[in-house]
Amino acid sequence: MAHNEWKSVGNGHLEGPVSIPDLDPSKLTITLTDTPKPLPNPEDLVFGAIMTDHMLVSSFDPINGWSAPEIKPYGPFTLDPASSCFQYATNIFEGMKAYIGPDGKPRLFRPEKNMARLARSAARLALPPFNTNALLELIKKLIVIDQRWIPNLEGHSLYLRPTIIGTRPTLGVAASDRALLYVILSPTGPYFRTGPKPVSLFAAAENVRAWPGGTGSHKVAGNYAPGFLPQKEAAKLGYEQILWLLKDESGWKVTEAGAMNIFVVVGREDGDLDVITPPLDGTILPGVTRESILAIVKAHTDGKLCLPGISPTKCLHAHERSFTIADMEVWAEKGQLLEVFAVGTAAVVAPVGRVGFRDDDSKKAIRDLMLPPYEGGMGPIGRAVRTMIIDIQEGRFEWEGWSVACQ
């Protein structure tokens, strides 16, 4: 597959279209390390701290397109100091995990979703397009080569970080017509070593994570660094994460929790439960875990599967709709706010124990919304969806072809 581009012939004239080579797995070269690293003790794994032996690399330039991909020993790059990735944050990435299934084969969880999101992020930052199927094929080959790094323990996995950075070596404020694509791997243990424990959130009104028309719905590097200072400020107040808000005519809308999507479980008068997450309005990252939880909640109510620990007759109504911090306070006062949990690739599901907030823009003392305490720290719906997602990821439960074996 090739891309069609217009080629400049000088004096502002364009000639084309010209065929530009795309990623081509048939051109892959593999250079294995001569010095394989010892495997770490799974009990000592810290998220993202240790890298495997190899990485996948390909570069793009406007004349030659994507270079022949390489799998080679993990190591540093040499980049021009003027590269646009340093100057203008032309950087995108994905977060994925590989697991060892019961058959001993490595497998990925809905990887086509990550590839599609990476392509959308590339388009949003005007980075070169690429063949998502080709990249996924290359990623599978890399995983097979480094599969010894996947801890064969429940709750453990191999974290994948596909990344594309702009490498145009000039300070001109323009899209990068050169890029470096690479994939690195890192073995990781459970996000919570002692089991899921409730986290605390501070609902900050002084800063926003994303805004309408921005890049909140894309996984771009520039979305993350601005959140580091508010995170530090929340920690000083005794909270572990930020509950990101965005004000509109309805009030302070809840958007995300830290770098994760958020769900609330609200009791209804008829005994059913509403499972609600904010809609994808352009400010919310379309998380793969988020989408998967919505799907299995609907499947439970439709009788297509039964969530563990939840009666098959219990109706769960999945909603993508906006709600505010004021809505959460009303639900809590009525005893209807039964669970709050954040979801994402790293933690899968993280229960929330309390939410601190100030009224509107005032400087009054912080008030806490306290969530019902549950044995083990996680409510029944959060525990059920977490267990189901992990069972699918690790190949113990087959569902909709979500778990994809790497050959």
pLDDT digits (tens, 9 = 90+) for 44-77: 898 999 999 999 999 999 999 999 999 999 999 9
- Number of Cβ within 10 Å of residue 19's Cβ equals 12
Question: What CA–CA distance (Å, rounded) separates 384 from 382?
Answer: 5
CA angle, 300 then 354 then 237, to 5°: 145
Question: What CA–CA distance (Å, rounded) separates 359 from 280?
Answer: 26
The reported pLDDT for the residue numbered 191 is 77
Its CATH architecture, for the domain 2-188, is 2-Layer Sandwich (3.30)
The reported pLDDT for the residue numbered 142 is 98
**What average pLDDT does the structure give for the chain?**
93
Q: Which residue has the higher pLDDT, 195 or 127?
A: 127
Question: What CA–CA distance (Å, rounded) separates 390 from 169?
Answer: 43
Lowest-confidence segment of 13-22, 179-188, 287-296 by average pLDDT: 13-22
The reported pLDDT for the residue numbered 13 is 47
Alpha helices, DSSP H only, in 283-362?
Answer: 288-301, 325-333
The reported pLDDT for the residue numbered 152 is 86
The DSSP code for 362 is -
Judge if the upstream peptide bond of residue 17 is cis by omega within 30 degrees of 0: yes
The reported pLDDT for the residue numbered 17 is 54
Start-end of CATH 3.20.10.10 domains in the chain: 199-392
The reported pLDDT for the residue numbered 154 is 81
Question: pLDDT category, 116, cuts 50, 70, 90?
Answer: very high
Q: Do residues 271 and 277 make contact, with C-beta atoms less than 8 angstroms apart?
A: no
Question: pLDDT category, 193, cuts 50, 70, 90?
Answer: low
The reported pLDDT for the residue numbered 273 is 98
Question: What CA–CA distance (Å, rounded) separates 148 from 153?
Answer: 12
When pLDDT is averaged across residues 175-194 and rounded to a whole number, the result is 90
Q: Do residues 128 and 60 make contact, with C-beta atoms less than 8 angstroms apart?
A: yes
Start-end of CATH 3.30.470.10 domains in the chain: 2-188
Q: What is the CATH number of domain 199-392?
A: 3.20.10.10
The one-letter code for the residue type at 139 is: I
Question: pLDDT category, 360, cuts 50, 70, 90?
Answer: low
Q: How far is CA 264 from CA 271, 325, 332, in A?
A: 16, 11, 11
When pLDDT is averaged across residues 226-250 and rounded to a whole number, the result is 95
The reported pLDDT for the residue numbered 362 is 56
Q: Is the pLDDT of residue 230 over 50?
A: yes
Question: pLDDT category, 365, cuts 50, 70, 90?
Answer: confident
The reported pLDDT for the residue numbered 366 is 85
